[in-house]
């Protein structure tokens, strides 16, 4: 199964957008499923369901940090290099969807930012772009990593 399909399937089984995409890259991050789910859980719903940065985009950034950041030598140059790849990939997502902000991606679907997670019903899945956003973010990240020689 391709990473885009894995990310979509993860969302459809009830994971949030960040978990869905992040988990599709466990072989790259080296994290077990339990740890990956815990790390990425707070970033769903645009960070704690506050509808800020899209969880699928947050997952891409988490993976980039693991792949590109040298934590053994945390320098300003190292941070700058990471920020550059993050901005490049975020720009690709923004160019495709017009934004990286959850509330803007969900505009007209919901404006609810309460902490209460919604029940995953057929209607929930039908009206949201999230399965597609997760699939596209995973495909975009995979392509990006290949371009950069990291896959």
For 36-85, the pLDDT digits (tens) are 999 999 999 999 999 999 999 999 999 999 999 999 988 999 999 999 99
What the block records as the tokens of 30 is 């080296």
Across the range 22-42, mean pLDDT stands at 97
The whole-number pLDDT of residue 116 equals 83
Residue 32 DSSP one-character state = -
pTM as predicted = 0.95
In which band, very low, low, confident or very high, does the pLDDT at 1 lie, cut at 50, 70 and 90? confident
Residue 129 DSSP one-character state = S
pLDDT over 90 for what percent of the chain?
Answer: 84
The whole-number pLDDT of residue 111 equals 65
Q: How far is CA 113 from CA 21, 77, 102, 110, 116, in A?
A: 21, 37, 10, 8, 8
Contact, 57 vs 90, CB < 8 A?
yes
Q: Which residues pair with 71 in a beta bridge?
A: none
């Amino acid at each position: 199964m391709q990473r885009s399909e894995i990310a979509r399937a993860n969302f459809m089984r009830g994971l949030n957008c960040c978990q869905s995409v992040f988990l599709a890259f466990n072989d790259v991050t080296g994290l077990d499923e339990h740890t990956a789910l815990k790390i990425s859980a707070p970033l769903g719903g645009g960070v704690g369901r506050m509808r800020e940065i899209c969880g699928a985009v947050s997952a891409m950034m988490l993976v980039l940090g693991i792949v590109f950041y040298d934590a053994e030598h945390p320098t300003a140059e190292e941070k700058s290099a990471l920020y550059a790849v993050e901005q490049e990939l975020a720009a690709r997502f923004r160019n495709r969807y017009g934004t990286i902000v959850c509330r803007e991606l969900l505009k007209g679907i919901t404006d609810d930012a309460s902490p209460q997670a919604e029940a995953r019903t057929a209607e929930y899945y039908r009206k949201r772009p999230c399965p597609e956003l997760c699939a596209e973010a995973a495909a975009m990240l995979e392509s990006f990593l290949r371009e950069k020689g990291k896959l």
